A and B are shown apart, each in its own frame.
Chain A
């Protein structure tokens, strides 16, 4: 039975592929999952831009220019709560037990989920760029910075997806997963530089906003879209990605192993 490691790596890759395909088929066959998610984002984009946009001082640039780079980040932050919902559904329907009884690695099962979500984020971000462009948004910094910004945003989404995975397999039912998601994403999104400049907040909140992982991500994205210095925020956001993945990957794998204990 001593199969060489190469074959078990091949098996793991095949497992990840099978799991990814399974999750993708859910989005293709239940398009409403993605469609309503996308619609919600479009509605929020329109509301925030036209309702609050005029009232927020952003130092001379149009609000849509200030706001859209951050909104792309918000799309993936909100999107990661969907991960919890999908996984808790699998848990409730016994699918996770089925997968856990199969000779596949824990990592393969969860990675399949994360890859699917990365694709979902890419679709949503593209849609936001299209709608934003119609509303007057323009990239002022050329195509390469934009593409790397999108890449970084998706990476940030992947990091947060591990949080979603952990929550999804930790809570008891789908409804809880849904609510539990909002508890952590709202403070992250609003107490950051995403909607308003941090300097306009009370000083105690500025402390939180400055360490909030969303802030450096948004600052990086904004700098890549509009020009400006990125190095400080880029390193911060990469460090956050690594820390979040490390912590929540460990937690999620441990949790997966002990489901039902």
Chain B
């Protein structure tokens, strides 16, 4: 880890350049005309629900899968025609840890290091360094089959980093991670983004994308719906707060929606059954008095008024009008009453 911090101008080259990628599995179109440009030094989050095509895109960019059409360049190399060159500059941590249970932690890392052609002594030194960094030094000489789930994930991540990849792919990296490992992962991501290295991660959680990434794209059913900086996304797609109003008399819901419509930063959604209205907003707290005033002026009684950070579901709702989990889990929007905006 060199401490040299590069100025931003050096990091202007496109690190990942995706043009019109399509991929189908039989009748299922996993990716539909995906275009993305990710600059060097970016922590990029691909945000979307299960089955939206995130893993398919990662597999194409890491040369594991061929696109049906379109092209993708990673670090300037074509992922199909120059797959071997792509592989030498990337690191991939898939959704499930891919570590050899029969080998020890140390042997796993040295093996991967050797396969990146680091040379015996470099691989050994680098393995030792990473075992320390990921809190695995004590378990270094134990077979991986004795490792806990969290330890396996850490080892998997260490293996991914062994050759100092300039582009790091992390497919749902925090799934199944204990809090300590999660913290370690965040440090890794932050360290990686220095020196013009790039991180491409996928996640189902808006909060996670917001915290880790400085560029986000939202994907659903194989299409990239929006992309931009975190701030741009919030501004276009429902703001940084979600205001939830429940009125006492649900018959008045259409009136209430009309009255509050223009306050919404994205699509206002009303639920006639429960009398609930959700309003995506920028700077939500400042709108609360206005909401109360307007409803009061129309004699609409408020049963509940709450602020919460928007979830991926809310962002989806405001972009597409359907929730991310609509088909998958039919999850209800849960009340998080009285929770402060972060």
Contact = CB atoms under 8 A, between A and B. Distances in A.
Interface in B79-123: 84-85, 87-88, 90, 92, 94, 96-98, 100-103, 107, 111-112, 114-117
B96 A102 contact: no
A97 interface: yes
A1 B143 CA distance: 37
A25 interface: yes
Contact of B114 (A18, A29, A258, A260): A18
Contacts of A30: 102
B94 A103 contact: no
A14 B117 contact: yes
A23 to B, nearest CB: 10
B115 A15 contact: yes
Contacts of A104: 115
Contacts of A100: 63-64
Interface centre among B85, B87, B98, B159 (most CB of A within 10 A): B98
Interface string A87-127: 00000011101111111100000000000000000000000
Given A22-B111, A95-B98, A101 B63 contact: yes
Nearest to B68: A261
A22 B64 CA distance: 22
Interface string B159-185: 100000000000000000000000000
A26 interface: yes
A85 B94 CA distance: 23
Interface string B26-67: 000000000000000000000000000000000100111110
A25 B102 contact: yes
A261 B87 contact: no
Contact of A101 (B66, B87, B97, B114): B87
Interface size class of A (residues with CB under 8 A): 20 to 34
A26 B100 CA distance: 10
A59 to B, nearest CB: 48
Contact of A93 (B87, B98, B117): B98
Interface in A1-41: 1, 11, 14-15, 18, 21-22, 25-26, 29-30
A19 B340 CA distance: 54
A11 B64 CA distance: 21
Given A101-B90, A260-B65, A261-B65, A26 B111 contact: no
Contacts of B92: 98, 101
A244 B14 CA distance: 46
Nearest to A109: B115
B115 A102 contact: yes
Interface in A125-170: none
Contacts of B111: 18, 21-22
Contacts of B100: 22, 95
The 5 tightest CB contacts between A and B, nearest first, are A98-B98, A94-B98, A103-B88, A103-B87, A101-B92
Given A94-B98, A98-B92, 20 more contacts: A18-B114, A25-B103, A25-B107, A29-B102, A94-B97, A97-B64, A97-B94, A98-B94, A100-B63, A101-B62, A101-B90, A101-B92, A102-B112, A102-B116, A103-B85, A103-B87, A103-B117, A104-B115, A258-B66, A261-B66
8 contacts: A14-B114, A93-B98, A94-B97, A95-B98, A103-B116, A260-B59, A260-B65, A261-B66
